[in-house]
Amino acid sequence: MPRWVFPLIILTIVITLVEIYTFQAFKTVSKSKIVRYSFLLVSIAVYINFFINIITYSRTEGQTAHFQMGVGLLLTISIPKLVIIILLFGEDAYRWVLKLFSAISSGETKSLVGRRKFISQIALGLAAIPFAAFIYGIIQGKYNYKVLKYQLSFKDLPDAFDGFTITQISDIHSGSFTNKEKIQYGVDLINQQKSDIMLFTGDIVNNKADEMDDWMDVFDKLEAKEGKYSILGNHDYGDYMDWEKPQDKIDNFQKVKDIHKKIGFDLLLDEHRYLEKDGQKIALVGVENWGKGFNQAGDLAKASANIKKEDFKILMSHDPSHWEYKVKEDPFNYQLTLSGHTHGLQIGIEIPGWIKWSPSKYVYKQWAGLYEEYGRYINVNRGFGYHAFPGRVGVWPEITVIELKKA
């Protein structure tokens, strides 16, 4: 028996119980069989589509648009059902308490109090919020580009770089794109920032170099006055696919690296460049991917060879776990690190000044935005594109603009 059969049976049982439970809310609120069974049929169709995607998934093809949409639809119907289950479970607990209290006080065992209609109405009303959010996230949220601006001050910043601006983008994931007009809008928004340099912090594709074929003419329009620099991300190595021959993976990796040059980026592979202005300079360091639990190809010592400790340094490293485990306490002192990778899981709740939450925070200590420890900073860009889930809910695609200031 294939290894996936038993987990699939368990999952089917869980889904069946969930559907039985949530169906009660519709049954309590609506007497229309059309409404009730339409809801049930839509759910069954989504589950069947997802299971077909799982069973037919091929690592030689990677994630197709159809697979991503299957994931998106499953989340769209599943998250709202969690809201319904939580409320109905709470009501059931209350009903059982009443029954137990009645049995103790009167000595008689009575039937459970009937499910109250208004509780089911509240459950369905609250469930409609995440349902609408996920629909929006799939249709429009993934193109809801946000420009986030930071001003960072450093005592050891050379005077000539006071006011120097950086635009950071990350995680393009071109293999997921479907709408050229929307992507062009995002690229135009990047160019409107008119920063001195542009830094791309990895994952230009999902797996294969040819994913960029239809998007080269869009991304080669990116502009920066003092140059464009880039690094690789974990997806750029082709590690998440089965290749027919080992040489195919090697050839693909070379093609991925060639993409950067074709769209005007200087790809840093464990190396550095000095940026010079008015006789002063800062070091731009770029490492290959280093991630906790992921490919650890990056060699920070190699990338920093011939750089002085007292030099002001900007480090590009795709995975923020590199900063957490290797960089932030490094005595060589990397003043500013730029990362991506997490996407903020593309799902969360962010209200500036009030709340910033995503399941991603339970995996990465630095999962989105700007962080500071030991007088050193890291910015974790939420990503320009999307992957796996074909949308964004509450965690929007990001264009970061950082202005360096002399303290």
Q: Which of 337, 346, 350 is nearest to 383 (CA)?
A: 346
Angle, alpha carbons 305-309-314 (nearest 5°): 75
Residue after which a domain boundary falls, among 82, 105, 139: 139
- Domain shared by 26 and 160, yes or no: no
| pLDDT tens string 51-77 | 898 888 887 787 888 899 999 999 999
Residue after which a domain boundary falls, among 106, 139, 172: 139
- Domain shared by 341 and 394, yes or no: yes
- Domain shared by 155 and 294, yes or no: yes
| pLDDT tens string 203-224 | 999 999 999 999 999 999 999 9
More confident residue, 102 or 245: 245
- Domain shared by 91 and 182, yes or no: no
Average of pLDDT values for 97-115? 66
Where are any strands of DSSP class E within 13-161? Answer: 146-154
Q: Which of 374, 379, 363 is nearest to 148 (CA)?
A: 379
The whole-angstrom separation of Cα 347 and Cα 359 is 8
The whole-angstrom separation of Cα 31 and Cα 29 is 7
Domain count, the chain: 2
pLDDT of 55: 84
DSSP state of 249: H
- Domain shared by 401 and 255, yes or no: yes
pLDDT of 115: 62
- Domain shared by 14 and 80, yes or no: yes
Q: Which of 83, 63, 173 is nearest to 128 (CA)?
A: 83
DSSP state of 223: -
Tell me the pLDDT band of 38, cut-offs 50, 70 and 90: confident
Average pLDDT, the chain: 91
Q: What is the pTM of this model?
A: 0.91
According to DSSP, the residues that pair with 8 across neighbouring strands are: none
Average of pLDDT values for 368-395? 96
The answer on pLDDT for 365 being more than 60 is yes
Q: Containing domain of residue 334, as a range?
A: 145-406
| pLDDT tens string 259-274 | 999 999 999 999 999 9
Q: Indicate the SS3 state at residue 378.
A: strand
